[in-house]
Amino acid sequence: MIFERNCLWGLLAAALLAPLLIPNQYALHIGVLIMFSVMLATSFNLIVGYVGEFPLGHTAFLGVGAYTAALFSTSLGMPFHVAAIAAPLVAALFGLVIGAITLRLRGPFFVIVTLCFAEVLRLVANNWIGLTNGPMGISGIEKPAWATAGDALQQKMAYYYVGVLLASLSLFVAYRFVYSNIGRAAIAVRENRFVAQSIGVSPFYLGLVTFVLAAGIAGLAGGFYANYVSFVGPEVFGFSFMISMIIMVLAGGKGTLVGPVVGAVIVVLLEEYLRDFKELRFSIFGLIVMAVVLFLPRGIMGFIARRHETYPRGATGDA
């Protein structure tokens, strides 16, 4: 707990100082994408790492949050902060409904049904022309005053620090949840469902609470993404975001709070540097996942945390 908390504080300090060390628009753009990815990976990790389920349709909540923010901004004329609050709330509501249905299923049935929900929402976004503008998507999302003040560099920096704020908020909520009684009970369900039930823990209730919280964080990421790019299309429900989330969590270390952050940084940087490889980059990502599963099954942070736990004992024993 202390090690993880110190790592999070160190990452926050690095994030706050980064624009001062690398003050250019491209680096800030990468930073904004990293903050978006941190929120997304953190939300996915809550379900995969702490409940032990694998929602292959987690992009449903990303898309719902993005479309909610876009519709609140364009159709209702709401300011950024209202849309930013509405996005996670609506996504959490969808998480409550979808979770109440899917969490009664186990194993591959859960995976397939969650994927079906994401595909249904993608089809709705693609065909409900009157609401979502269909394949053309929703464009012209109005940016807040702080995002249009100053020159291009200052605008990027403003988005970056708002991203840092929202990512920090997401990690704080996740931290409070994981180290609460509910979070510990969820871990107990992940480790042994039947033993947890025998001591009065309800796997369905804990799974649903986690599902709603994860959906809300994913919706927050979607709302931030929609406002940043000023456009939302049906592709936010697509599988490419899902692939990125899986790699971030597996590479960084599922079941840890720092792992998704490390995974987000690695994946975003790799996506940028491998952009010239086009479709080949998915094969490269696949090889990375295979290497992690084979050599670092607990991910990078899982490996580091284990070394951190065992090293002092070895040092004491030698002494």
Strand partners, 232: 138
Please provide the DSSP assignment of 178-236 as one string.
HTSHHHHHHHHHHH-HHHHHHTT--HHHHHHHHHHHHHHHHHHHHHHHHHHHTEE-GGG
Q: What is the pLDDT of residue 308?
A: 64
Asked whether the predicted pLDDT for residue 224 surpasses 50, the reply is yes
Greater pLDDT, 255 or 174: 174
Greater pLDDT, 199 or 213: 213
Give the CATH number of the domain where residue 151 resides.
Answer: 1.10.3470
Segment 141-188, tens digit of pLDDT: 888 888 888 788 888 999 999 999 999 999 999 999 998 888 888 888
CA distance 284 to 243: 12
Q: What is the pLDDT of residue 43?
A: 95
pTM of the model: 0.90
Once rounded to an integer, what is the mean pLDDT over residues 251-279? Answer: 85
Asked whether the predicted pLDDT for residue 134 surpasses 90, the reply is no
Greater pLDDT, 4 or 29: 29
The number of domains in the chain is 1
Q: What is the mean pLDDT of the chain?
A: 86
User: Which of 50-54, 115-119, 300-304 is the least confident region?
Assistant: 300-304
Segment 86-95, tens digit of pLDDT: 999 999 999 9
Query: pLDDT class for 316, splitting at 50, 70, 90?
Result: very low
Q: Which long-range contacts (CB under 8 A, 24 or more apart) does 242-246 make?
A: 242/56, 242/57, 242/58, 242/59, 242/118, 243/282, 243/285, 244/37, 244/40, 244/271, 245/40, 245/41, 245/44, 245/58, 245/59, 246/44, 246/289
Query: pLDDT class for 189, splitting at 50, 70, 90?
Result: confident
Q: What is the pLDDT of residue 240?
A: 83
Asked whether the predicted pLDDT for residue 278 surpasses 90, the reply is no
Q: What is the pLDDT of residue 318?
A: 45
Once rounded to an integer, what is the mean pLDDT over residues 9-30? Answer: 89
For residue 271, the enclosing domain spans: 2-318
Greater pLDDT, 192 or 222: 222
Q: What is the pLDDT of residue 309?
A: 64
